[in-house]
Amino acid sequence: MASFSTLLVLSSVFLLTVLFIILFFLLHRRNPSLHLPPGTTGLPLLGETLRMITAYRSGRPEPFVDDRLRLYGCRLFTTHLFGELTVFSADPDFNRLVLAGEGRTFESSYPSCISTLLGRRSLLLMKGALHKRMHSLTLTRFASPQAIRSSLLPGIDQLIRLNLRSWGGSVRLLDQAKKVAFEMMVEQTMSEGPGEWTEYLRRHYNALIDGFFSVPLFAFLRFTTYGRAIKARKKVAEALMELVKRRKEEKMRETEDEAESRKKDMVDELLEADEGFSEEEMVDFLLALLVAGHETTPIMMTLAVKFLTDNPSALALVKEEQKEIRGRKKDELEALEWSDYKAMPFTQCVVNETLRVANIISGVFRRSVADVHYKGYIIPKGCKVFASFRAVHLDENYFDDARTFNPWRWLDQNNMRKDGSQQAGGAPTFTPFGGGQRLCPGYELGRVEVSVFLHYLVTCFSWEVAEKDKLVFFPTTRMLKGYPIHVQCHRSL
């Protein structure tokens, strides 16, 4: 009798499981009446997440998108990623609609594995009036030519030279670029120079970054990638909290004359904001800013060097341009100025092409807040959308020989200034920094940092590849081994 009861229970559990799987498919497969773009939801629960990760870990860009564009014959397709039904866009017109529809038809929405690591008050996740206020504040501090010229460029020049002075023999370029980019971001946001505290913060940031776009299974287990990232986030938040508390106490003791004479940073802006942010909110905001600076700029630096190394004719032109700038200096140790940065037209073409081919920001997640009608399809209210910039940048319909690094393509573009850099709005098909109300605040600062780095690298060093490496695209675009090179210094820094 006991065996029969056990068998009955097991049979019931099995039947319920089968019913659950069937119900899942019925609920999550595309409903023709909704007129969603064509597609499939893949495996139960996992959807097509693992297929996408596997594809992006290969050495061939965009296989996940390429295969589906061929299969469905449409630039929009329906899939299931990170636990949600998702409309994936490789259509520049739809992407522009998404970027321009912020707050009206779409809102920022990222997988929980990302939002948990960033925190609720990160700029990426803010919405409405608060986002507009903080985005404007960040643009003023990091994108304004006046702010970069007078406040940020001298520190950028100094920190890059300081780090490059230690180079010799074999270096792993991505690791070194991350170190210098992180130190610059810490200096720019909280006025903390290189040292023990900054290095402690950077070590834990490395573990935190590894958690982004990882599959957050068994996150409570510390030995998983995501579990280690959660632990690292706690360490980073504790360090930032100590900083915020210390700065708050210092501000309370500060005289009016001292406050006026001291250069303000982002911590000051948060402490003085009318919104009256809590300490926890300030920590979330600072943490997310550092994440942005930790990943994007160093990858741009590394891949620009990799692409130039693979293209000797482009490298020769960059060297010629930068040596001409250095030759105009009265002192060989004189720092770069804003006018020097504006005199780098071909270097800016290299930066543009690195952004287009590498796609450090591959796209953006949004959620529709109303039914969206587009080319006969209906994206229903509440549906997750991924607007892929990479898919457009690497499409032969929009860029000739799109998968080839060719900086010369930018010399005659109508949307380019005479110095070769991108206008803030950008062309509809070229959106490396996003657009609309969520245009990346660091779009100009990142260019400046990469340009200064390339200046000192090509005028002071020679290098050769130390080890064969591979370009991969998940969880971010990067060189798999960090691009090891042998360097030799020829001129003082």
Asked if 53 and 474 count as a contact pair (C-beta separation under 8 A), the reply is yes
* Residue owning tokens 């060093």: 461
Instruction: Write phi, then psi, for 319 (nearest 5 degrees).
Output: -60, -45
Asked if 383 and 85 count as a contact pair (C-beta separation under 8 A), the reply is yes
Q: Kindly list the distances between the CA atom of residue 336 and the CA atoms of 331, 453, 469, in Å, as whole numbers in the listed order.
A: 11, 11, 32
Give Cα 416 to chain centroid, integer Å: 23
**What is the total residue count of the chain?**
493
Asked if 223 and 195 count as a contact pair (C-beta separation under 8 A), the reply is no
Task: Tell me if 460 is assigned to a ligand binding site.
Answer: no
Q: In what order do the strands lie in the sheet with 461-465?
A: 169-172, 484-489, 461-465
Return the DSSP state at 404. Answer: S
Q: Distance (Å, rounded) from C-alpha 484 to C-alpha 84? A: 38
In our burial notation (b when 16+ CB lie closer than 10 A, e otherwise), range 76-85 reads bbbbbbbbbb
How many CB atoms are closer than 10 A to CB 209?
A: 19
Asked if 380 and 34 count as a contact pair (C-beta separation under 8 A), the reply is yes
Collapsed DSSP state (helix, strand, coil) of residue 487: strand
**Is the CA virtual torsion 380, 385, 389, 394 positive or negative?**
negative
Q: Nearest 5°: CA angle at 418, between 413 and 420?
A: 60
Asked if 363 and 111 count as a contact pair (C-beta separation under 8 A), the reply is no
Q: Distance (Å, rounded) from C-alpha 221 to C-alpha 216? A: 10
How many CB atoms are closer than 10 A to CB 11?
A: 10
H runs (alpha helix) in 104-144? 112-118, 128-142
Nearest-Å Rg of the Cα atoms of the chain is: 24
Asked if 295 and 360 count as a contact pair (C-beta separation under 8 A), the reply is yes
Q: Distance (Å, rounded) from C-alpha 329 to C-alpha 322? A: 11
Asked if 434 and 443 count as a contact pair (C-beta separation under 8 A), the reply is no
Binding site listing:
440
Binding site listing for heme:
440
